[in-house]
Amino acid sequence: MSDPKPVEQTPAAEPAKLEETPAAPATENINTDKAPKEEAPKATEEPAATEVITLENEAAPAAATTVPEAKPEEKKPEYLTNIPSLGQFFEHLPSILSKTGHSEMWGVPLKDSDDIPTVNVLIKFLRANEGNLSGAEEQLRKALEWRKQTNPLELIQSGKYSARKFGGLGYLTTYEQDGRPLVFTWNIYGAVKDMSATFSDSDEFVKWRAALMELAVQELNMKDATTVIDYDGEKDPYQMIQVHDYLNVKFLRMDPAVRAATKKTIDVFSTAYPELLREKFFVNVPAIMGWMFSAMKLILSRNTTRKFHPISNGANLAREFPASIADQIPTVYGGKGAALKDGARSVPLTEDEQPKEEAKPAEPATETAAPVAAAPVAATPVAAAPVAAVPVAAVPEAAVPEAAAVETPAKEEAKEETKEESKATTEVEAAS
């Protein structure tokens, strides 16, 4: 009866321990085994996510590179935003250069809107047309065509100009003002020896004037500009001073050859050299011609006429400039500088040879000698000849009042034609 008791106690305790002790490790082993299997796929998924992120990050710089390309278009240079027509001018410039087949203006190779010398050239053409884009483009086209046809840069080197026609007529001087060159061109019209010879060939005259102008433009050195000029022209260092001296020039009559040559000069210079003039001084002009400058104000633009300064006495020219410049101006114009023929530059000239024309007067001498030889043959009638010589002497006496009668109407006609011819002179001065 004592055997059943130990059997019930021992197995009851052991199974309880077996269920508790293995249960804990079993759950731990199972969790540890399953955890790596579940984390393994997560590990493979996380790199995939990082790859997607890196692809997105790599795509981001590509999108960022497109943004800077748009920024230059938005941030235009100040001179393009301030002058809207200038930007349009540059848009049309390639077409203009292509059609004309020429891309040089005043020594400046015309390029894009980033090139400062080109910007300054286009601003001058716009300013000359008061901002009218179509007018500026048309003028630039004509100027380029003329330069292509004429090649004014070559005229300086290879051009041959007669010293008899153009000697002493045009000069160039360069003075320094505020660290920049101040260029003067001098046109001494009183130095013309023969109006017909100087102006008869209008093409030759225009080429000579263009050569002198190109010398002055070279002194302005526009091709090396680093600063954009003001659109209103107040601060434009690329302009020159012109002096026209009319000492001993007769204003009453103008030779037709002079009119033709000066008219052609106007047409060329007003088209090919816009906004290169700062001021123009007319010196040694008779006071009676003051009405001519009043008439200019009715014909020309205010922007042009404000640059004109008539001076009756050429010795007062130096007073128009600061002392640093006035001292360099020739003494004949009130300064302390050398005479133009000694200290100024000019277009290269060639001496004319005319020995054949001087030998011709020998022929009339032989013609008059023949009648003298015949006179001795008829010695007797020679005495009667002096009797008829008396009325011959009266011929010159009668000719004097005739000459006076001819000269007097000529002066009256000159007075009647003064205004018309001076108007032509006015037009010449406006452009040349």
| Domain co-membership, 124 together with 218 | no
- Confidence tier at 358 by pLDDT (50, 70, 90): low
Average pLDDT over residues 125-135: 95
Q: How confident is the model at residue 287 (pLDDT cuts 50, 70, 90)?
A: confident
Give me the pLDDT at residue 138, please: 98
Within a domain: 405: no
Point out the least confidently predicted range of 54-58, 136-140, 156-160, 224-228: 54-58
The CA distance from 268 to 206, in Å, is 8
Give the tens place of pLDDT for each residue, 52-63.
444 444 544 444
294 pLDDT more than 70: yes
Please state the pTM of the whole predicted model.
Answer: 0.66
- Within a domain: 376: no
Q: Is the residue at 377 inside a domain?
A: no
pLDDT of residue 120: 98
Q: How confident is the model at residue 38 (pLDDT cuts 50, 70, 90)?
A: very low
Flag whether pLDDT at 352 surpasses 90: no
Same domain? For 262 and 143 the reply is: no
pLDDT at 265 over 80: yes
What span, in angstroms and rounded, lies between the C-alpha atoms of 347 and 137? 31
Q: What is the distance between the alpha carbons of residues 184 and 325, in angstroms, rounded to a whole number? A: 11
pLDDT of res. 269: 95
> What pLDDT digit, counting tens, does each position of 64-113 carry?
455 555 555 568 899 999 999 999 999 999 999 999 999 999 999 999 99
Question: Which residues make Cβ contacts (< 8 Å) with residue 358, sequence separation at least 6?
Answer: none
The residue from 92, 116, 150 where one domain ends is 150
Any domain includes 121: yes
With a pLDDT cut of 70, the percent of the chain lying above it is 62
Q: How far, in Å, CA of 165 to CA of 258, rounded?
A: 13
| Contacting residues for 275 by C-beta, under 8 A, at least 6 apart | 124, 125, 127, 128, 233, 236, 239
In whole angstroms, give the CA distance from residue 192 to residue 163. 11
Residues 303 and 203 in one domain: yes
- Number of domains the chain is built from: 2
Looking at the structure, tell me whether residues 210 and 348 fall in a common domain: yes
Residue 127 has pLDDT above 60, yes or no: yes
Q: Give the domain extent around 115.
A: 78-150
CA–CA distance, 206 with 155 (Å, rounded to integer): 11
The Cβ of residue 315 has, within 10 Å, a number of other Cβ atoms equal to: 14
Identify whether residues 240 and 335 lie together within a single domain.
Answer: yes
Instruction: Tell me the pLDDT band of 32, cut-offs 50, 70 and 90.
Output: very low
> What pLDDT sits at residue 275?
95
Is 335 found in the same domain as 198? Answer: yes
394 in a structural domain:
no
User: Does residue 262 lie within any of the structural domains?
Assistant: yes
97 & 182 share domain:
no
> Does residue 269 share a domain with residue 145?
no
Q: Which of 90-104, 281-295, 303-317 has the lowest mean pLDDT?
A: 281-295
Least confident range of 156-160, 207-211, 264-268, 344-348? 156-160
Whether residue 412 is predicted with pLDDT greater than 70 in this model: the reply is: no
- 184 and 301 inside one domain: yes
96 in the same domain as 181: no
